[in-house]
Amino acid sequence: MTDLDPAIATRLTRNPDGLVPAVVQQHGTGEVLMLGWMDDEALARTLATGRATYWSRSRQEYWVKGDTSGHVQHVRGVRLDCDGDTLLVTVDQVGAACHTGDHTCFDADVLLEDQPTDG
């Protein structure tokens, strides 16, 4: 078990399950790759190891991105938003970010394409 720095822990606004959403973005390009969930332990592990660690809500266990798939996320930075309720994790992604094998979790279902503006 890794303890989260109390100065960070006091700034987090967690959901009722003790989790904070973590938006994962490709370092350098800004491409959004996925959304994961972190509790204090997952965030502490991520900060300590430089490997993205999440809490799996479906399996009810921690998972380090890439341990089973080989699609590793090397963490380049972690930021907390102004409300303390969302993390932004910038990574160097190796392989697919999505569990489906897609490059990002946002490849499959485009609901609205970029629309031209009038003017």
Q: pLDDT for 19-47, tens place per residue?
A: 999 999 999 999 999 999 999 999 999 99
User: Nearest to residue 35, comparing CAs of 111, 95, 106?
Assistant: 106
pLDDT at 110: 84
* Burial of residue 61, with CB atoms counted within 10 A of its CB: 0-12 exposed, 13-18 middle, 19 or more buried: exposed
Domains of the chain: 6-93 (3.10.20.810)
pLDDT in tens, 49-69: 999 999 999 999 999 998 988
Distance of CA 75 to the CA centre of its chain: 10
The model's pTM is 0.90
- Measured CA angle at 41 (ends 75, 22), to 5 deg: 50
Q: How confident is the model at residue 119 (pLDDT cuts 50, 70, 90)?
A: low
pLDDT at 10: 96
pLDDT at 94 over 80: yes
